[in-house]
Structure 1
Amino acid sequence: MNPPDDYLLMSGIQHFCFCRRQWGLIHLEQQWQENQRTAEGRLDHARCHDDGLTEKRGDLLIIRGMRVISHHLKLTGTCDVVEFHTDATGVPLQSHKGLWLPMPIEYKHGAPKESDADRLQLCAQAIALEEMLVCQIEQGAIYYVETRRREIVPITPELREKAQSMANEMNLYFSRGHTPKSKPGKHCNACSLKELCLPALYQRADPASYLRAHIDEEVIP
């Protein structure tokens, strides 16, 4: 599956929700700086991603590293795990008898967050799976390594609308090639790109005032 060149990474919606500037630095400017948290998270994902690995346990079918794409969102990515449960409202799968209903499972290194960042990424995966398999997904789950607990996430109309809105905004920034400005806050302390972004310095700088001052210097009465 080769997505169009202008389709963005689905994982970016989590970055975008956390901080639009962080998303721009990573996905538009290709900048990245790893810290302990991101390194541990990358290792956690490496453990659960095993492309092509399928496991069957009775009425449960588990597929790891499943590639997905959404033409409505113009996003593409990889699901950590997709669980297929036997269900009368499910869809047929090649080489497997019966009907199966998919449920995306996203693995995160830390603990549950107050924001919808992780839930939006999961919702985008669900939307992609619905498009690809022509089915309706009511819920997904996020497994947090730090707490070793699975959070069931209802894929509500409100969450779907928010995911679509953010995807539209991401695609607009991408089409313009524009990296959003920083909005410094407490979240900056947890960002691996803090030293690249320099949010406090960027906020103090006023490009318009700088240009006006230098133009005035060059004007000789």
Structure 2
Amino acid sequence: MTWWPDGESSGDRIPISALEHHSYCPRQAALIHVEGVFTDDVNTVRGSLAHERVDKPGIRASAAPGTRQHYAVPVWSSALGLYGRCDVVEIGNDLAVPVEHKIGKYQPGGPADIQVAAQVLCLREMLNLDVPYGEVFTHVDRRRHRVEMTEELVAAVTTTIAKLRRVLLAPQLPPPVSDRRCRRCSLLDDCLPRAVSAPTDLYSIRPLGDWHA
């Protein structure tokens, strides 16, 4: 395998973004991070445009006194085998808080929480600062949503890492979920969930229009 950074092929290092992809759909994670498949749609383009500012490394003053916003911050964890980049890390008053930017509606307990929690764990390992929680900033409502670092969320991160590592090293792609998530996925035409999971009796397959309804 040649898809690991720096030539690694043991599966010891996992991109943090893959945790969110796996939490949404294991097959999506494998298509992106193993097969190298990625297709833009209107939502991914909107996301890229929304990230233009935070994708450029730099430091800016925050509205909070004594706090600065660090943009496009590389992070990693040797203990967890993770690496990635935070959109924003606010640092000040002996605290550090990662802020992940998303274009869609915030879903408590959703994939974004896994991603932000992983960023918190990386920063805790890297910095001699308190990293008590993370935040998700949603462009749709221009709000920040706090992600509390509960024991359950930390356990969910470690469980996701273990499951994702098995998916990335498996000889075959995971089966498609074939549910409502597929309609919002930009990889729909690459994944072909209907074709892969279709029954052998072709006459029992619903018309494609019914599946998209």
TM-score by length of 2: 0.83
Q: Provide the secondary structure at the position in 2 that maps to 1:200.
A: helix
| 1:33 aligns with one of 17, 39, 42 | 39
**Partner Cα distance (1:126, 1:4) in 2:** 26
Q: Measured at CA, do residues 70 and 3 of structure 1 come closer, stay the same or move farther in structure 2, by a change above 3 Å? A: farther
Deviation at 1:4, TM superposition (A): 7.4
1:197 aligns with one of 177, 191, 202 = 191
1:65: which partner in 2?
A: 72
CA RMSD after TM alignment: 1.8
Q: 1:136 to 1:165 in 2, by over 3 A?
A: farther
**What is residue 95 of structure 1 aligned with on the other side?**
none
Check the 8 A contact 1:24/1:178 in 2, yes or no: no
8 Å Cα contact 1:3/1:69 also seen in 2: no
Provide structure 1 residue ranges, at least 5 long, that are not aligned to the other structure: 87-99, 207-221
Deviations 1:69-99 (A, max 9, x none): 112321210000000120xxxxxxxxxxxxx
Letter of the aligned partner of 1:186 in structure 2? R
Change in CA separation of 1:49 and 1:183 when aligned onto 2, cut-off 3 Å: same
Identity value in percent: 27
Larger Rg: 1
Q: Residue 9 of structure 1: CA displacement?
A: 1.2
Structure number having the greater strand percentage: 1
Shift in alpha-carbon separation, 1:175–1:14, aligned structure 2, 3 A: same
Partner of 2:173: 179
- 1:19 equivalent to 2:25? Answer yes
Could you say if the C-alpha distance between residues 14 and 61 of structure 1 is closer, same or farther in structure 2, counting changes exceeding 3 Å? Answer: same
TM-score under structure 1 length normalisation:
0.80
Q: Supply the distance in 1 between the matched residues of 2:6 and 2:114 (Cα, whole angstroms).
A: 21
Given candidates 91, 95, 99, the residue that maps to 1:101 is 95
Q: Which residue of 1 aligns with 2:104?
A: 110
